[in-house]
């Protein structure tokens, strides 16, 4: 495996598609999004994968690893606007579990964090993120940040419903 290759993972709804699209402007890097099979680039040079699905494979991946960190309350809000109410409790627990797992991976120096909020609002930080992945022939612009990214088409909730908001304040760790 080429250890210069990278894997970026996160919760769904955390900028993985947007980041993939930016990275694929590169003339030398090939970056795939949300594959569910084995890592497709084990021996190739200049390959990356950005996928929420691959969070279960963090320990198996031998290249450089990154995690996009987004406030779990924001992830939950985005998810409930896409999923039926029958699975909201499952989403609530899953998001909390994975968020704590991500924190443990970062605290044990196994993965580097990427701030979702900064990556999507600060051009300098977005370019720093791309550079950290090893991609040196792409520049993020203010227009990239201003362009809507994989937005929910039907927004039912602008904030968490009360029966989720109260437990989320207690259950999810504070994120800055």
What is the pLDDT at residue 175? 56
Could you give the CA distance from residue 102 to residue 74 in angstroms, rounded to a whole number?
16
What is the pLDDT at residue 54? 86
103-144: per-residue pLDDT in tens? 999 999 889 999 999 999 999 999 999 999 999 999 999 999
Residue listed under structure tokens 């993972």: 9
Ordered structural domains, the chain, with CATH: 6-171 (3.40.50.300)
Going by pLDDT thresholds of 50, 70 and 90, the confidence category of residue 176 is very low
Give the containing element (helix H, strand E) for 67: strand 64-69
What is the pLDDT at residue 44? 75
Lowest-confidence segment of 32-41, 89-98, 142-151 by average pLDDT: 32-41
Tokens for 2, please give them. Answer: 């080429």
What is the pLDDT at residue 1? 47
35-88: per-residue pLDDT in tens? 766 555 556 788 899 998 888 888 888 889 999 999 999 999 888 888 899 999
With a cut of 90, say whether residue 13 has pLDDT above it.
no
With a cut of 60, say whether residue 169 has pLDDT above it.
yes
Classify burial at 102, counting beta carbons within 10 Å of its beta carbon; exposed 0-12, middle 13-18, buried 19 or more: buried
Q: What are the φ/ψ torsions at residue 7 (nearest 5 degrees)?
A: -130, 125
136-149: per-residue pLDDT in tens? 999 999 999 998 77
Which of the two residues, 174 and 62, has the higher pLDDT score? 62
């Amino acid at each position: 495996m080429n250890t210069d290759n990278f894997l970026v993972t996160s919760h769904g709804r955390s900028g993985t598609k947007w980041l993939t699209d930016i990275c694929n402007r590169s003339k030398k890097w090939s970056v795939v999004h949300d594959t569910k099979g084995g890592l497709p680039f084990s021996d190739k040079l200049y390959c990356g994968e950005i996928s929420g699905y691959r969070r279960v494979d963090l320990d198996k991946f031998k290249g450089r690893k990154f995690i996009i960190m987004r406030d779990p309350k924001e992830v939950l809000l985005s998810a409930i606007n896409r999923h039926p109410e029958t699975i909201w409790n499952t989403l609530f627990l899953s998001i909390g579990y994975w968020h704590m797992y991500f924190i443990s991976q970062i605290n044990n120096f196994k993965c580097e964090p990427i701030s979702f909020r900064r990556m999507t609002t600060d051009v300098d930080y977005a370019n720093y993120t791309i550079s950290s992945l090893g991609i040196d022939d792409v520049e993020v612009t203010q227009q990239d940040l201003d362009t809507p990214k994989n937005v929910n088409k039907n927004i039912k909730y602008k904030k968490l419903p009360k029966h989720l908001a109260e437990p989320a304040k207690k259950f999810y760790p504070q994120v800055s």
